[in-house]
Every structure is written in C-alpha cells, then in structure tokens.
Amino acid sequence: MTKPRYDWTIDEVLAVIERPFHDLLAAAHACHRERFDPHEIEGAKLLSIKTGACPEDCAYCPQSARNETDLQPEPLMDLPDILAKAEQAKAEGATRFCMGAAWRSPNDRQVDEVAEAVHAVADLGMETCVTLGMLTDRQAKTLADAGLDYYNHNLDTSPDFCGEIITTRTYQDRLDTLVACREVGISLCSGGIVGMGETRRQRAGLLQQLAILNPHPESVPINLLIQVPGTPLHGLPEFEPLELVRTIAAARIVMPESTIRLSAGRSSMSEETHVLCFHAGASSIFLGDRLLTADNNGDDADAAILDQLDVSVRPLDQRVSIES
Ligand code: SAM
Ligand code: DTB
Ligand code: SF4
C-alpha cells in the first residue's frame, strides 16, 4: 500500500508529472486500486445558494463583480428552496450536496443561515459540503456544530502564479481557512484549476502545496478552466487534454488516500479524456447539467461514458463514513 507522504518537493512532483505517459498512468491506476474500487465513482451535486457580485477579483470567475459577464446576481436562497434542491439531488443519485456562495468572507449572520441549511441537508442523509470563502475560527465552529462534513476552499494554483490570477487575497489567507476548518474537525475539499496559462512546474507547485498538508485534503477537485466571456482569462489557448490527465495522475500518486474529483470543464471534454482521467484515478464528479453558474456534462452524457466503463455512481446507502 502506497504510504502517504507530506514532504513532497516541487521537483519531485514535477518528476511524477513528467514520467513517461504509460508509466505515469500505470502507476496512478495501480495506486488508485489500492484504496478505491475502480468500478465506482462518487456523485456530488452543486447548488449556487448566493450568486455573483463577489468582491474578489479571481480572473477565472464569472461571479466576480470585477468581471463583466452576463451573470444575474442572486441573493442568498431561502432554506425551503435549498432543501427542495437537495431532495432533488438525492433523488437523482447524488451522495454529496455542495452549496456554494460568491462571498469573499461571509458575516456571522450569513454563516448562521448556511449552518441551518447544512443541518437540514445532513438530516436527509447526504454528505454536506459548503464553499463560502474565507472563514473565522468561530464561523468554522458554527458550521462544524451544524454537522458540516466538508469545506471546499481551493488553493487554485501555485503560490508563484496566484498573484497573476487574484490580487484581493493572499495564498496564506486560503491556507488559514483550511487550518480553521481542520481544527474543528471538518474534512477538506481543496484543489485547483488547470488551463489558466500556468506552467507545468506551476501545476506541480499547486499539487505540492496540497500534498504537504497533513493530512491531505480528503477531496481534491481538479477543475479545467471554463473560459467565460467577460473574464480576463477568456480567449486563452485550449488546454492540452493529456496534460490534464497527467495532472490527475500525479494528484492520485502524491495524495494516495484522497478522492480526486474531475470537476469543472467536463462539458468541453471528450469521452476519451474522461476515460483517461478516470483511469488515472479520478473517482468523483459533479452530476447534472449545471455546476454553480456554468454548464456541466449532464447525466445522459455521463451515463454514456460510465456505462462503457462498467462504472456506476456509488449509491447513498454505501456512503463512505468519515472518521474524525
Ligand atoms: N467564493 C468561494 C471561493 O472562492 O472559495 C466559493 C465559490 S468559488 C466559485 C469555488 C471554486 O470554483 C473556485 O475556487 C474555483 O476553483 C472554481 N471556479 C470558479 N470559476 C471557475 C471557472 N471559470 N473554471 C473552473 N473553475 C472555476
Ligand atoms: C470546485 O473545485 N469546483 C466547483 C466547486 N468546487 C465549488 C465549482 C466550479 C465552478 C465552475 C464555474 C461556475 O459554475 O460558475
Ligand atoms: Fe468570488 Fe469565489 Fe468567484 Fe473568487 S472564485 S470571485 S472568491 S466566487
């Protein structure tokens, strides 16, 4: 069994990414089978509970108030509406319900409202995840007390590239929120985005930052940039699909216990890219035809891929219990 390590250097991670392709994929797949059933994937469902008008300047994000996109801002949803969406997600086969809010850092009243929603969704028997921006220690405790399973907070890219993507917060800000969540026993969902014009070494830098967290984030979402018109990153060259596969494979190897999620950007990916990413160790996806504000692959297209691979979405009654 591959033992997790927490002392990865960027050079070591880069060397993993740069292994000959077949060697990299074989190693990643073998590593995956040590702890995961390759015939099962996790299905999560996203809901944007507060949309747009975000004060951060993330260059990739359609929800930043600085970016002139077509997005219609929406205030925080009411609890009954959130719950109806969660029930629908459960009926559609999702085991995890992820609620996202376009905040830089919510206030205590907003966190209390989200905590109520977390409590109600947890009562449905689903795993809960929220992503609300930066949290204080007290806010993290409120969410933990409400029964929150996961907090999503992405490092997004490497420390040396992040300044070109976001100027309104620091890398350390993000790490602090991850620590605040860990300290109150919330599991971490943290990953990043590829295709923003970063170098391969910078992709290694992102994975290295995640892989030196001890323990590693339980969920690691790898997003392919969705180029949204009106965002500064719209118009970048298309990202090479096999480079995404290499990134997934390296994430699998350097964080052997973590669930790697093939996240945003799947609606522009070929079936073949999906297949290679699953073979490389991705075993979680967002279900349905919508992410937060952008399009997702959709259940019919997913079924067409998963059926060919004899892979099924793990049912709710077989959810993996989280040990604290
Ligand atoms: N405001 C909170 C935050 O930044 O943590 C939560 C919501 S934010 C939309 C969650 C994540 O979505 C970001 O960290 C980023 O990784 C991802 N994301 C946003 N826009 C994206 C895009 N255009 N393409 C790919 N991923 C994107
Ligand atoms: C993550 O890493 N990806 C998800 C989830 N965590 C919150 C969000 C993707 C957002 C894609 C753009 C949008 O839908 O607005
Ligand atoms: Fe705001 Fe999050 Fe989008 Fe950045 S990624 S602009 S913090 S919603």
Under the banding of pLDDT at 50, 70 and 90, the label for residue 1 is confident
Closest atom of ligand 1 to 61 CA is 20
61 catalytic? Reply is: yes
Tell me which of 322 and 44 has the higher pLDDT.
44
- What is the mean predicted confidence (pLDDT) over 209-224? 98
Tell me which of 6 and 68 has the higher pLDDT.
6
For the stretch 158-177, pLDDT in tens is 999 999 999 999 999 999 99
54 catalytic? Reply is: yes
Count CB atoms within 10 A of the CB of residue 277: 25
189 catalytic? Reply is: yes
Is residue 224 lining ligand 2, measured as CB closer than 6 Å?
no
pTM over 0.85: yes
Among residues 31, 162, 181, 189, which one is catalytic? 189
CB 226 within 8 A of CB 261: no
For the stretch 119-161, pLDDT in tens is 999 999 999 999 999 999 999 999 999 999 999 999 999 999 9
Is residue 64 lining ligand 3, measured as CB closer than 6 Å?
yes
**Distance, CA of 130 to CA of 298 (rounded, Å):** 22
**In this predicted structure, what is the pLDDT of residue 321?**
46
Alpha-carbon 69 to chain mean position: 22
Which ligand approaches the C-alpha of residue 169 most closely? 3
Q: Give φ, ψ of 128 to 5 degrees.
A: -110, 145
**In this predicted structure, what is the pLDDT of residue 53?**
86
Which residue has the CA at smallest separation from atom 15 of ligand 2? 293
- What is the mean predicted confidence (pLDDT) over 10-26? 98
277 catalytic? Reply is: no
Under the banding of pLDDT at 50, 70 and 90, the label for residue 253 is very high
Under the banding of pLDDT at 50, 70 and 90, the label for residue 70 is confident
Among residues 31, 96, 98, 162, which one is catalytic? 98
- pLDDT above 90 as % of the chain: 93
**Distance, CA of 61 to CA of 133 (rounded, Å):** 13
Is residue 264 lining ligand 2, measured as CB closer than 6 Å?
yes
Is residue 291 lining ligand 2, measured as CB closer than 6 Å?
yes
Under the banding of pLDDT at 50, 70 and 90, the label for residue 318 is low
Closest atom of ligand 3 to 63 CA is 3
Which ligand approaches the C-alpha of residue 106 most closely? 1
CA distances from residue 84 to 50, 78, 79, 89, 117 in whole angstroms, order as listed: 16, 10, 9, 9, 11
261 catalytic? Reply is: yes
How is the chain split into domains, by residue range? 10-308
For the stretch 264-305, pLDDT in tens is 999 999 999 999 999 999 999 999 999 999 999 999 999 999
Q: Which residues pair with 46 in a beta bridge?
A: 98
Among residues 61, 162, 181, 277, which one is catalytic? 61
Class of the domain covering 10-308: alpha beta
Closest atom of ligand 2 to 291 CA is 14
Joined tokens for residue 213 = 């967290």
- Give the sign of the dihedral formed by CA 102, CA 105, CA 109, CA 112: positive
